[in-house]
A and B are shown apart, each in its own frame.
Chain A
């Protein structure tokens, strides 16, 4: 185990932490979705970086190449990207509706408008 050999993992971890932090800490609904998207992209690196072989080429069979990088993570991440953007589209559609219903996209302002704190009987 070397620092260089694991550099991609370290960056993956930084991105994952940053994304997760944005999602939980920020109250702005749009910014939360940006954080969510970043958190999801960290997974791309986690899957794909280990599939690379130095000296290999993209996994398209052609004359003159013998070593190909691993195609399976690519397939999985293609699916993950598509799922990510689908989630994003739905999330943003919800944000638009929330803005129309509440006039705000700040979480605490929205929750403040519907006073129904859990665990109380009026």
Chain B
């Protein structure tokens, strides 16, 4: 599909829009439907879209494999790390109350960081699974 100029321009616009939408879903999750998981799926979808239009190698150049694999691990690490932060600051595991002087503020902080962790891992895993399935095909048809 590399020949279609209109398609490529529209795709670029769409991808930008999708990423913005993902961020909206992520940070508006406190007030409306949405949250880390949904935002992660949308982020991954944006890059999958990119790969479909511009080809898998192009997508892999933008978001390389090592980065995706690091994302897969980093999100879980961040989430579990927030848990340990509660432990270090004198609370129980995953205790957000102790993350700030004001308990509600602490809850806010905790939720922000763990949702970010969810986003990173989910986006990473979805993208990785897509890469694995797609590249399996390429190698076979070679």
Per the CB under 8 Å rule, do A and B touch in the complex?
A: yes
> A interface vs B, CB < 8 Å?
58, 60, 78, 82, 89, 92-93, 96
B33 with A58: CB separation less than 8 A = yes
Interface size grouping (class) on chain B? under 10
Kindly state the separation between the CA atoms of A82 and B32 in the bound complex, as whole angstroms: 20
Which residues of the partner chain A approach B37 to less than 8 Å between Cβ atoms? 78, 82
Which residues of the partner chain A approach B133 to less than 8 Å between Cβ atoms? 92-93, 96
Kindly state the separation between the CA atoms of A12 and B80 in the bound complex, as whole angstroms: 36
Say yes or no for B132: interface residue by CB 8 A criterion. yes
The 6 closest A-B pairs by CB, nearest first: A89-B129, A82-B37, A96-B136, A60-B32, A78-B37, A60-B31
Task: State which of B31, B32, B33, B132 has its C-beta within 8 Å of the C-beta of A93.
Answer: B132
Which residues of the partner chain B approach A89 to less than 8 Å between Cβ atoms? 129
Kindly state the separation between the CA atoms of A27 and B79 in the bound complex, as whole angstroms: 40
Please classify the interface of chain B as helix (H, G, I), strand (E, B), loop, or mixed, using the class held by over half of its residues.
Answer: helix
Given contacts A60-B32, A93-B129, A96-B133, 10 further A-B contacts (CB under 8 A): A58-B33, A60-B31, A60-B33, A78-B37, A82-B37, A89-B129, A92-B133, A93-B132, A93-B133, A96-B136
Interface mask (B12-25 → A, CB under 8 Å = 1, otherwise 0):
00000000000000
* CB proximity of A8 to chain B, nearest CB, Å: 21
Considering the complex, give the chain B residue whose CB is closest to the CB of A86: B125
Considering the complex, give the chain B residue whose CB is closest to the CB of A81: B37
Which residues of the partner chain B approach A92 to less than 8 Å between Cβ atoms? 133
Kindly state the separation between the CA atoms of A96 and B31 in the bound complex, as whole angstroms: 41
* CB proximity of A83 to chain B, nearest CB, Å: 12
Kindly state the separation between the CA atoms of A89 and B32 in the bound complex, as whole angstroms: 29
Which residues of the partner chain A approach B132 to less than 8 Å between Cβ atoms? 93
Could you give 13 example pairs across A and B, Cβ below 8 Å? A58-B33, A60-B31, A60-B32, A60-B33, A78-B37, A82-B37, A89-B129, A92-B133, A93-B129, A93-B132, A93-B133, A96-B133, A96-B136
* CB proximity of A39 to chain B, nearest CB, Å: 22
Kindly state the separation between the CA atoms of A93 and B31 in the bound complex, as whole angstroms: 37
Which residues of the partner chain B approach A58 to less than 8 Å between Cβ atoms? 33
Which residues of the partner chain A approach B136 to less than 8 Å between Cβ atoms? 96
Kindly state the separation between the CA atoms of A60 and B31 in the bound complex, as whole angstroms: 7
Kindly state the separation between the CA atoms of A96 and B132 in the bound complex, as whole angstroms: 11
Kindly state the separation between the CA atoms of A60 and B32 in the bound complex, as whole angstroms: 7
Which residues of the partner chain B approach A82 to less than 8 Å between Cβ atoms? 37
* CB proximity of A113 to chain B, nearest CB, Å: 20
